[in-house]
A and B are shown apart, each in its own frame.
Chain A
Amino acid sequence: MIFTIAGKELKALFASPLAWVVLTVVQVIVGYAFLRRLDDFLRLQSQLMQMASPPGATELVAAPTFAAAAVVLLFAVPILAMRLIAEERRNQTMVLLMSAPVSMSEIVVGKFLGVTAFLLVVVLLTALMPLSLAAGTRLDYGLLAGLAAGLALLAASFAAVSLFVSCLTVHPVAAAIGAFAALLGMMLTGEATSEGLRARGWHLAAELAQVFSPVKNFEPFGKGMLDSYAIACAVLLIVAFLALAIRQLEAARLRG
């Protein structure tokens, strides 16, 4: 049943122009960032040759390309996710799901998986750009895989947070702006909070604060590290926000 709902979300996304617009915009922006980086890399070739162990194309071109994709997702995910609950409630189509023999957790997890599957397409398209360099140079496939995994986790974290905000209101645009504010807020304050807590000697609290700093969790992947702590933080963030979303919908059914 979860996959029925996930499939429905995917289908609805691709049936509307929204998905295609988002994919196009992401491709244009990330493509531009990729080409800029590639240009810089080619111009710096002579200087790089003189270094003892020069950084490769993957490090200098692929990593910034993925970082650019992460920034674009920060804007795109709230808009994609506003449809999930807020728009369904506004269009009164949520009734179809609520009257069906489907539990609230199945609805929420299904919708989360649907939008995450779409975001994986974005990650894949982003990964294809640096992969095209394989025609002319040797790539560090380990680093590339790490970057892709990091971006996928980041996208899923954004999706979970935005899905929760989408449950809070029936106004799709308010949901999108709210989700964007929440993500930006987490990005800006998560790390500072973590550092502040650590400075006071509250190490456990500092580590926990990192859960709410999805971009910080992305960093180790950019260095080619598969940091199990960062993965655990991202998974914890996703589970926490999905649980909040389920609770919120249950409460809405009680409140009316």
Chain B
Amino acid sequence: MPRSAGAGFFINHVILGIFCPHYKGLSHPETIVTDMSEPIAATTISARALARSFGTHVAVNNIALELKRGEVLGFLGPNGAGKTTTMQMLTGNLAPTRGAISICGIDLLEQPAAAKARIGYLPEVPPLYRDLTVDEYLTLAAKLHRVPRARRAEATANAKQRCGLADVGAKLIGNLSKGYKQRVGLAQAIVHGPDVVILDEPTVGLDPNQIREIRGLIRELGGLHSVILSTHILPEVEAACDRVQIMHHGNIVYSDTIAALKQFHSGATVLLGLRRPPPLDELAAVPGVAAVEAVEPTMFRVQFTPGSDPSEVLVARSVASRWDLYQLKPAQTSLEDVFVNLTQTEQTETS
């Protein structure tokens, strides 16, 4: 099968490319492209009109999803929004009721083997065999993902090194702590150098240092692979992702880049603390202020008109008119704002 031969060739290149900085291909990315028996698809994952029902319950309703090479997509949503169901469908663990999924241009439903070879998946519960050692387990994962025999030792060694597992290779997985188990799960997802890495809440149960490491790793993965990251932790998305999609009741209710999000919402709302506040009208009259609302007698939520930032004016006025300013801070992270707004207005979504 010429197609899978091409895929194998590609995977070798990617593995060598990520894992060995000295590998020639990495310093000359153009040579990889010209070497290819098939061109690298710019879109690594694309799902159209994807839907899934369980009986009468619609878990995922007609969503579309697209991911470009090198992009990190943050996948957000409250519990039960359909995130895990979507991820199970994208990885071929669950058949969609309707819709099409293609991985690097290969249809997941028509050619599951070729498409799955390009995906690495870390589910919510890492699929670990407690009775195997880390080395045995990663070798098994590499074999299952058709990493050629000659590259296997190298691929597992590098996956271990990247996930900080170099010292625990000979330990039984059942004896590892939760954080290490999570890392083994992550190593399993990247051992074959997939084009798309899908991570379902990868930082749950880790300590803050480990979370930082994993985030760093996700950023690093985003360089060559595409990553879909599902999480509840909003700062994580702002720190690690290029783009964000919010899911609610099986629909995608928001999709934008983090950059656009930050630009649009930067300083949009601030909390202003004044010990001797003036009447609300006076505050609202400051140029660039769209609305003012008293949270407490001395605390105000000031909303700016889009694109303007009258913080300095507010400080200057406060000094001039002796309002006794004691606090001025952004009201919420921008993403949290969007998330809460979209997922708490239940009625508008369902109708």
Contacts and interface: CB of A to CB of B under 8 A. Distances in A.
A and B bind: yes
Interface of A: 1, 4-5, 8, 11-12, 15-16, 92-103, 253-254, 256
A101 B132 contact: no
A178 B319 CA distance: 81
Contacts of A103: 112-113
A95 B123 contact: yes
A100 B127 contact: no
A11 B94 CA distance: 28
Nearest to A17: B131
Given A4-B143, A101-B115, 8 more contacts: A5-B144, A11-B132, A96-B127, A97-B144, A99-B91, A99-B93, A100-B145, A101-B146
B113 A98 contact: no
B95 A92 contact: no
> Which of A92, A93, A100, A256: most chain B Cβ within 10 A?
A100
Contacts of B129: 12, 93
A93 B132 CA distance: 12
A146 to B, nearest CB: 37
Contact of B112 (A1, A8, A96, A101): A101
A96 B188 contact: yes
B67 interface: no
A254 B95 contact: yes
Contacts of B54: 256
Nearest to A94: B127
A95 B132 contact: no
Contact of B92 (A1, A8, A92, A99): A99
A95 B127 contact: yes
B146 A253 contact: no
A253 B93 CA distance: 6
Contacts of A92: 123, 125, 127
Given A12-B129, A12-B132, A92-B125, A99 B119 contact: yes
Contacts of A99: 91-93, 116, 119, 121
Contact of B140 (A4, A16, A98, A101): A4
A15 B131 contact: yes
By DSSP majority rule, is chain A's interface helix, strand, loop, or mixed? helix
Given A12-B131, A92-B123, A94-B127, A101 B143 contact: no
B227 to A, nearest CB: 15
B100 interface: no
Nearest to A253: B95
Interface size grouping (class) on chain B: 20 to 34
Contacts of B115: 101
Interface of B: 52, 54, 85, 88, 91-95, 112-117, 119, 121, 123, 125, 127-129, 131-132, 136, 140-141, 143-146, 188
B131 A100 contact: no
B144 A100 contact: yes
18 contacts: A12-B131, A12-B132, A92-B125, A92-B127, A93-B127, A95-B93, A96-B144, A97-B144, A99-B92, A99-B116, A101-B113, A101-B114, A101-B117, A101-B144, A102-B113, A103-B113, A253-B95, A254-B95
Nearest to B121: A99
Nearest to A251: B95
B294 to A, nearest CB: 50
Contact of B136 (A1, A11, A16): A11
Contacts of A94: 127
A94 B132 CA distance: 15
B131 A16 contact: yes
B127 to A, nearest CB: 4
A256 B94 contact: yes
A175 to B, nearest CB: 18
> Which of A16, A99, A100: most chain B Cβ within 10 A?
A99
B186 to A, nearest CB: 13
Contact of A8 (B113, B125, B140, B145): B140
Instruction: Give 8 nearest A-B pairs by CB, closest first.
Output: A100-B144, A96-B127, A15-B131, A101-B113, A101-B117, A101-B116, A93-B127, A95-B127
Nearest to A104: B112
Given A8-B140, A100-B145, A256-B52, A93 B128 contact: yes
A8 B132 CA distance: 10
A156 B88 CA distance: 33
A103 B129 CA distance: 20
B127 A4 contact: no
